[in-house]
Each structure stands twice: as C-alpha cells, then as structure tokens.
Amino acid sequence: MFGLGDPTRSREDAEGSLPARNEPLLPRSASFGAHKSRLDMLKDAWAHYSPSAQLLRVCASEVSAVKTACVSAAVACLTIGFLGVLNPFSVVSLLHYLTCLYLVACASLAVVMEVDAPLFEPLRRWVGCWVRGLTRLRGRGVLYIVIGMQTAGLGDPLAVASGLLSLGAGAACFVSLPSRETADAHAGELPEQAGSPDGEVPRIAFRRRVLFGMERMDSSELVALSLELGLRLDARARAAALAMLDPHQDGSIEEETFIVWFQQQQQAQPPLLPP
C-alpha cells in the first residue's frame, strides 16, 4: 500500500513535471520588457521636459528659447519692481524704493523691446534712434544682467529667483552669439541656394549679420548682403530698397521686410552667377 512505486515513473516526474511546475506565470521577456519600456518612456519625457533640458535649449542658441527666457525675465523683474513700489513699507528705505523705481523703468523698457505690439511702436522707434544698443542681442544681454543683479540684491526670495532668471537670460544672449560662426560655415553655399522658395537661406544670412531676428540692418549692410547672395542691384532694386528703409530707424530695414524685398527682386531678375 505504501510502496515506493515504479522508479522509472518517479524519475520522469523528477525530470519532467517539476520544471513544468516551476515555470513562471509570464515569460521573462513579457514581465521585464514592459517595465523597461515604461522606464525608457519616463526617461525620454524627463530628458525633454526637465528644467535642465530647457536650459540646454537656451544655451544651444535657439531663437525661440532665448526669446522666451528674455520675455520671462523682463516680466518677472517688472513684477518685482511694481510690488516694491506699491509696498507702503518700502518708503522707509529710500535706496530700496529707488531701486524698485529703477527696476520698473528698465524692465518696462525690456518688455517693450521684446513684445511686438503696435502700442509700443513709438517707443521702439525712439529706442532705435537714441539707444540703438538695445536693438542688438549683446545690448539686451547687458540690460538683463544689470537688472538681474539689482533685482537679486533686494534680498527677498522671489526677488532673488527673478534676478537669477534675468541673469540667465542675459547669459543666454551672450551664449547664443557664436551662432554667427555656424552661419559663416555655410556662407560659401549661399549664392547657389539663394533661390530657395521658403526664404530660409536669406533669413540665415540676415541673422548672421545682425545676430537676432528683432535687429535691423542699415543700408550699407543691405548692399553687402545682397551682393553676397548674388543679387544684382540695379536702379529699380535700389529704389525699391530705399522705399522700404524706415526713416525713423536711421534708414534701417527689419528681417521680414528684407525677405519680402529680396524675394521680389529675385523673381524680377536672375541672380548673378558665383565667380
């Protein structure tokens, strides 16, 4: 009754049934592969949306990222300045009150330079005539560094955070300056590719000379850039260029106006062949 049974059958159970009984419920690839893919998705999302990734985008000379950083810094410093001016206890310290007034003035000027609105156009023209340094990326970088130091010097935690943001925007303006070297590497290809329908090559050439989309180009730079792109400047093209120059901005031309003018002249006449 309590015999050991067939030794052959017990050996088959030991070799066949036990491994089958100890198999996992899911295959190893199914249990660990899904978990790994979720980790990869989380890593990719963090790598794209993390603050360090946004900072790298700013440092990579992306125009949209630099523009966002500048607008954010200007609005943050303007808010700190207004809060300091409206604070009734700030009148106790005259230096603190004057610093807040200074921040309101400088941050308001920075907002006017960064935000494209018809309401700010008269002030932008005045800045273009009398403070032309602020129309350039390097000049705005100096402005953000100065107001960032003043904002952080107020000592409040919110002021320190806004000041650091402004300092970062000013540093981004200077870090993005080497983008000129990248455009210079393609300078030899510009005459052959100037006929691109989207106007990308003239836009790159324009930004290579003025370093930022908001900046303007004077008449001498316009002539040099047109010859570099292989455009023949006859009397009709010069008259059209003079009509587009803004007299309120020392006879300069902006980026979009230059692209429209260049495409019109390019359709009217064939470009010069490169030497």
Percent of the chain with pLDDT over 70: 53
Calculate the average pLDDT of the chain.
Answer: 68
Give the integer Cα–Cα distance in Å for 102 and 204. Answer: 37
What is the pLDDT, as a whole number, of residue 141?
86
- What does 58-123 look like in DSSP terms, one character per residue? HHTT-HHHHHHHHHHHHHHHHHHHHHHHH-GGGGGSHHHHHHHHHHHHHHHHHHHHHS--GGGHHH
The DSSP code for 230 is T
Alpha helices in the chain (DSSP H): 7-12, 18-21, 28-49, 51-59, 63-86, 94-114, 121-130, 137-152, 157-175, 179-184, 190-193, 200-210, 219-228, 235-244, 255-268
What digits encode the pLDDT tens for the residues 220-263?
667 777 777 777 777 777 777 777 766 555 556 777 777 787 88
pLDDT in tens, 182-213: 444 444 444 444 444 455 777 777 766 664 44
Which pLDDT value is given to residue 273?
A: 42
What is the average pLDDT across 79-97?
A: 82
| pLDDT, tens digit, 9 for 90 and up, residues 101-119 | 989 998 888 888 877 777 7
Q: Which residue has the higher pLDDT, 149 or 19?
A: 149
Q: What is the pLDDT of residue 47?
A: 60
The pTM is what? Answer: 0.51
Of residues 180, 249, 182, the one with CA closest to residue 219: 249
